[in-house]
Structure 1
Amino acid sequence: MRWIILLLLLSACSQSYMVSDNLAYPYNLPPVGSKLVLMQAVAIEPGTTRTFLQRGRKTTLGDFNRYRANCNFEVENLSDRAQRIEPDTFIIKKVQRLMTEVVRQYNHRSGFINVEYGDPGSPMVTHGYHLWLSSEKQPDVMRMTCRGAFDDLSRSEPPSINEIREALGNIAELVLAA
């Protein structure tokens, strides 16, 4: 009997890591060995190490919509000059889950009635993936990070493969390993 309970508990814990052929399922990880084909050069502004993509367009950290899936390329070295990532085929050598929590600021006004929407104890988070990249021609290109929509902890999900592809648009193509 003890073994049956243990088996049920372990299988319940593994449900969030199921693999599905459905590319809209948000918990499908792009497999290691997949390729990221950059079809257009992307610029990285001076003094930064990242450039963002959303809905098939290049954007900046200050301008992208945090409530939609987005991705960013990241290089290892910070420079005071603009950098470019040239068209290339990058091999995904490692996939890592991520969660970013943003601290909420509460309005502590005194008053007779205080109404707050949502769960006041739930942090706002975004879930996503770091896709660690490898290229012989551009070894400074470190990774691409893709995030799902920013939301309450209970509703936040990582981006699906379809959402990653939508964020990349015609700038890059994610080719899944078989």
Structure 2
Amino acid sequence: MNLKRLLLTLPLLFSSCQNRGETDENSPYFVIPLGSRLVLHQSVTIPAFAAAIYLQGGQWLPWPQVSRYHPHCKFELREPKNAPQTITADEFVIARTGTETETQEGFQIQARVLELQSARQPLVSRLSCAVWQTTATGQPVSGRELRQALGNIFTLELVGRAPSAGQRP
């Protein structure tokens, strides 16, 4: 009889946890709705022979200067060119989100990945944000940590949600 009760209550337990943390930007399980926008407020130049540039604490940084143990983001293009590429201020639609997990040197890196689209700048590919953590505690960056890494360079505008405090209108 106890097994029967357990089987009947399991669906209720799972359904009550399904959306947990989705709208809380402090949660690593925070969901960024598709169709949200990432607004770049200033032009940035990607060096020749590179397809990405890094961002931490609201500053563009070369990879050797990024503190891997604090939230940081990688703004990526589809392919490198043999000349510098300038991306101008623009709005990028978030077409897909996900996570990528990698383990290096005993650390787990779970990157939050935002695939981006812009009709004006189709070479822009994605933004991935992460922080190195021990394999026991590895989880994606929260929405708050993502915003911390972006600073005032980008604004994350969520579809169907009011802007959070300190976010540009």
The answer to whether the 8 Å contact 1:51/1:60 transfers is yes
- The 5-angstrom pairing of residues 38-117 of structure 1 reads 38-102=40-104, 104=105
Shift in Å at residue 20 of structure 1? 3.6
Give the structure 1 partner of residue 151 of structure 2.
Answer: 169
The answer to whether the 8 Å contact 1:33/1:177 transfers is yes
Relative to the length of structure 1, the TM-score reads 0.79
Greater Rg over alpha carbons, structure: 1
Equivalent residue in structure 2 for 1:158, among 105, 125, 140: 140
1:12-69 alpha-carbon deviations (Å, 9 max, x no partner): 6x95873343211111021111100000111211111001110000011221000011
Q: Distance in 1 between matches of 2:114 and 2:89?
A: 17
Percent sequence identity is 30
Distance 1:48 1:7, change over 3 A: farther
Give the unaligned 5+ runs of structure 2: 161-169
Q: Distance in 2 between matches of 1:67 and 1:6?
A: 44
The answer to whether the 8 Å contact 1:16/1:27 transfers is no
RMSD of aligned alpha carbons: 2.3
Relative to the length of structure 2, the TM-score reads 0.83
Distance 1:6 1:64, change over 3 A: farther
Q: Distance in 2 between matches of 1:16 and 1:156?
A: 20
Task: Give secondary structure in 1 for the equivalent of 2:63.
Answer: coil
Give the unaligned 5+ runs of structure 1: 105-122
The answer to whether the 8 Å contact 2:22/2:31 transfers is no
Give the structure 1 partner of residue 110 of structure 2.
Answer: 127
Distance 1:15 1:46, change over 3 A: farther
Give the structure 1 partner of residue 28 of structure 2.
Answer: 26
